[in-house]
Structure 1
Amino acid sequence: MKANPRIAFLGTGAQGASIAADLTRAGLDVTFIDQWPAHVEAMRKDGLTVHMPTRTIHTPVKSLHLCEVAEIKQRFDLVFLVVKAYDTRWATELIKPVLAPDGFVVGLQNGMAHEDIASIVGRDRTIGAVIQIASNMWTPGVTTRQNDHDESWFALGALDADRHSEVEDVATLLRHAGRVEVTDDIHSAKWMKLVVNAAELIPSAIIDTALNDAAHLPGMLDLMRRAGYEAMDAAMADGAVIMPIIGMPPVMSNHPERYVDEIFEEVLRTFSREDTLTTSLQDWRKGRRAEIDEVNGWVVKTLAAHGKQAPVNEHVVKIAFEIEAGRRPLTERNVDDLLIATSPL
């Protein structure tokens, strides 16, 4: 990696904006690229404001509209992709012409989107990543990050083993934003995060409720855990191994269901505030699609490929798509229909 690499963040919403701001404040050459026109214009006019639990940071930034990518002359050495998993393919195609021949695309995303990135730019130019930060954005140019640097956690891993040694250079840069671990098994790390996401994101969003409130409703914690158990079954069927993530100690249980219980408890304790809304609920309240197929749907698809079923995740996906299609209102009254998935026959 060059001493002063050219860095782009493609997707500077709630998560990407605050991370990119940390690297900018560290003196790195960072360009913000985003698809929300008002957000880009606000950052150009007033910079970026990041609200954290105990402080507020204001940072002047360089920001571009998507259409301006075509005007970039000097290629980027490092691109952090922080878009929705379902936007991965077009976003990677967009940035590919301005990625240096030996540069990396780092997928700071949910789901298993790193494989989509690799199919476009090559495995030798792809770094898979896991991210654990709670944040939200409702106003252009302003993001609220609910975890400061000591609570923000990332994992990075090369898809091409021959480039694994270079990932530490990327980790050094990303440590300006939080704790970073480098792993030689990013496939398993990504699956472990998907296990957590399957348990928390869509299930709590379906009942239009903050994550902590959802977990305290009768029956909901059991349903979310069962969604996680099925996701762990899918992970292991896909060749993943149980491994600690989000800073959990290596002495975590190797029993699949106990692991799910432990890591979900850690998410609720450390990474979730009383008002934390999952990214899926934020998407729906903004009128956007959530990552349904890319998380819970991925569990269903993976287990089906191995001749197994995922009844809880299938039920979650069904209700979620009913909400997106407008056939079901987004309301906490959905809880009764949701809990049918764990009701005894």
Structure 2
Amino acid sequence: MSRDLERNLKIAFAGTGAQGASIGADFALAGLDVTFIEQWPEHVDAMNESGVTVNLPTRSLRANVRAKHLCQVAEIRDCFDIVFLVVKAYDTRWTCQLIEPVLAADGLVVGVQNGMTQHAIASVVGAERTVGAVFDMASNMFVPGIINRQNDHDTSWFALGALDPANRPRVEKIAELLRSSGRVEVTNDIASAKWMKLIVNAAQLVPSAILNLPFAEAVKMPGMEKVMRTAGYEAMRAAQADGAGIVPILGMAPTAINDPERHVDAIFDEVLKTFMMPDTLTTVLQDWRKGRRAEVLDINGHVVETLKKAGHAAPVNERIVEIARSIERGHLTAQASNSTLLAS
């Protein structure tokens, strides 16, 4: 893609929390025409006044950005060529409905999200304008305008895949843009890639949050590693029941392993080694500490529902969902002693 063409593209990031803002800042620093669309008023104000500061492990970046509040989307007159959707999975459909009027007729929505959101996106904007994505990078934000990103570009990973195969060349061009923020692959089987990531998310995100601990500490609690891996094994069975293939993710080499559980173990270990720092708080725990509900039903709940439709149970994921929902309802507190509830 020529630099002139890149600069002429109109790009939006719908959802500029820790992940969206840090990726969007990379785009702004690359000289691209980027608009941030965000629902946290103080964050919008801070970004417009002072830009976005991204604190990386060994350096800090600052980018001046243009941010819009959700209520200002109706004021936008130009249409976007690419919208990166970086909102919670449960906010997918209504966010797509919000931005669809300002999406170009041939524009694309790229769902950089947890969960199997590509179909929800397509239900609003059409499969021909939908690009699925899967990613791994750790970041957090508790102060408006300031992001702490624990993975620099060399250890941030993305994969993209079009729902409409005819869009493969366009997705390749989006991948070129996204490489300003990390390693990027293009796949012809984004559904399987998203399932592989959901498997490791089911094993790690919610179980560690239930203990109110960073993942690296939660996995060391008595019985928890077995619980986490078993949740992943159930998720793999759900993936296969849904027709997903076993595909490499996270930049891992293709494997000849014909044992689904060993493949789960390999992904689990890669995330622990490469993408999780000792103090990394999963996105679920960050949400809970902010008083927000998390993507429990879109991750472990999706495993439960998929296996139920196939006539099978997912007892470990069911228990994870039960405990997590009790925490969100205020009936239980996230704490390390909850390991006994999961490991019993």
TM-score (norm 1): 0.97
Out of 260, 273, 279, the residue aligned to residue 275 of structure 1 is 279
Once residues 222 and 337 of structure 2 are traced to their aligned partners in structure 1, the CA distance between those partners, rounded to angstroms, is: 13
Which residue, 114, 121, 134 being the options, matches 1:117? 121
- In the alignment, is the contact (CA less than 8 A) between 2:78 and 2:102 conserved in 1? yes
Query: Which secondary structure state, in structure 1, belongs to the residue aligned with residue 158 of structure 2?
Result: strand
Equivalence for 2:209: 205
Structure 2 equivalent of residue 91 of structure 1: 95
Alignment-mate amino acid for residue 285 of structure 2:
L
**2:151 corresponds to which residue?**
147
- What's the CA shift string for 1:229-284, capped at 9, x where partnerless? 00000000100000110111113633110011111011011000010000000000
User: Equivalent residue for 1:107?
Assistant: 111
Corresponding residue for residue 343 of structure 1: none
**29-38 vs 324-333, which moves further:** 324-333
Which shifted more, 276-285 or 214-223? 214-223
Runs (5+) with no aligned partner, structure 2: none
- Equivalenced residues, count: 340
Quote the residue 1:227 is aligned against. Answer: 231
CA distance in 1, matches of 2:167, 2:151: 31
Aligned mates of 2:62, 2:298 — CA distance in 1: 34
2:244 and 2:115 mapped to 1: Cα distance?
14
- Counterpart of 1:261, as a letter, is D
SS at match of 1:217: coil
Q: Deviations over 1:306-328 (max 9, x none)?
A: 00000000000000011011111
Report the Cα distance in structure 2 between the residues aligned to 1:252 and 1:135, rounded to whole angstroms: 32
User: Percent sequence identity over matched residues?
Assistant: 61
Letter in 2 for 1:112: M
Give the secondary-structure state (helix, strand or coil) at the position aligned to 1:12. coil
Give the distance between the partners of 1:334 and 1:228, measured in 2 at CA: 19
- Asked if 1:256 is matched to 2:260, the reply is yes
1:27 maps to a residue whose letter is G
Q: Give the corresponding residue for 2:185.
A: 181
Residues 222 and 339, structure 2, Cα contact 8 Å, conserved in 1:
no
2:248 is aligned with 1:244: yes
- Matched residue, 1:290: 294
The answer on whether the counterparts of 1:244 and 1:252 sit within 8 Å (CA) in structure 2 is no
Deviations 1:3-42 (A, max 9, x none): 4210000000010000000011111000011000000000
Match for 1:259: what amino acid?
Answer: H
- TM-score in terms of structure 2 length: 0.98
Deviates further, 258-267 or 243-252: 243-252
- Which residue number corresponds to residue 170 of structure 1? 174
Amino acid at match of 1:187: A
In structure 2, the partner of 1:58 is: 62
Deviations 1:56-101 (A, max 9, x none): 1111111111100000000000000000000001100000000000
What does residue 50 of structure 2 align with? Answer: 46
Distance 1:253 1:121 in 2: 38
Per the TM alignment, residue 338 of structure 1 is displaced from its structure 2 partner at its CA by 1.3
In 1, Cα distance between the equivalents of 2:258 and 2:252? Answer: 13
CA RMSD of aligned residues (A): 0.9
The answer on whether the counterparts of 1:151 and 1:178 sit within 8 Å (CA) in structure 2 is yes
- Matches of 2:261 and 2:241, distance apart in 1: 15
In the aligned structure 1, how far is the partner of 2:296 from the partner of 2:80? 31
Asked whether the 8 Å contact 1:252–1:259 carries over to 2, the reply is no
Aligned counterparts of 1:56 and 1:252: Cα–Cα separation in 2: 40
Q: Identify the residue that residue 161 of structure 1 maps to in structure 2.
A: 165
